[in-house]
Amino acid sequence: MHFLPLFILLSLLAEILGTIGGFGSSLFFVPIAGYFFDFHSVLGITALFHLSSNISKIALFKKGFDKKLVLAIGIPAVVFVIIGAWLSKFVNSGLLQLILAVFLILLSLLLMIYKNFQLKATTANSVAGGAFSGITAGLLGTGGAIRGLTLAAFNLDKERFIATSAIIDLGIDLSRSIVYFSNGYMHKHDYYLIPILLIVGISGTYIGKRLLTRFSETQFKYSVLILILMTGIITLVSNFVKT
């Protein structure tokens, strides 16, 4: 329990950065939570945290969402997150953490080097992006960056982008929560975190929304990418230290 204040503060920071950067809080929350809990527990806690986070985003970003994209990206994402969540119980948690670290490093470097990289706005890319984001969310606990890249191809304004992403993510989190629960990743002794993370999710989303109007989106996203790179490196180093 002595770690709780630090965990809450870092979780709030993850939610704020995830809201403003458009990548989702799990990119930061999963490796952060990994310092306090075992990786399979992190998957379960992340799913619960994201449920409150996404409900907050849907409530706060009310200017509408793209129904076509919700279906084109959301349906394959839900199908593949169930597959990924089910597969996670067969993969060693240490290996999953290693894959997560490498994933964060490669993704951040790719987006920093190819600043103007953008997918074509096609149905095929929507389906593929949804499937890939779903399976990484199920296996590693985070798929928001891939979903963000997919949504970026369709030039949505910030509020529609966040609302559309949140609705898709809500379906992902509901689906994987059921699988994680059946896998035994959600423990009764961690349930006290649910109301705490609910408050953190609402607060972080609100603060993130307010800050969106004060920062250059391009500059901030680049800063977020640097933080993702640092998070990946720290996660990778700590994984080797543990072993």
- Per-residue pLDDT tens over the stretch 184-196: 898 888 888 888 9
Domain holding 152, by residue range, is 4-242
pLDDT score, position 131: 95
Q: Which residues contact 219 (CB under 8 A, 6 or more apart)?
A: none
Q: How many separate domains does the chain show?
A: 1
Q: Which long-range contacts (CB under 8 A, 24 or more apart) does 191-196 make?
A: 193/45, 193/48, 194/48, 196/4, 196/8
* Segment of 35-39, 93-97, 218-222 carrying the highest mean pLDDT: 35-39
pTM of the predicted protein model = 0.82
Count other Cβ atoms within 10 Å, centred on residue 195.
10
Q: Who has greater pLDDT, 213 or 105?
A: 105
In whole angstroms, give the CA distance from residue 101 to residue 148: 19
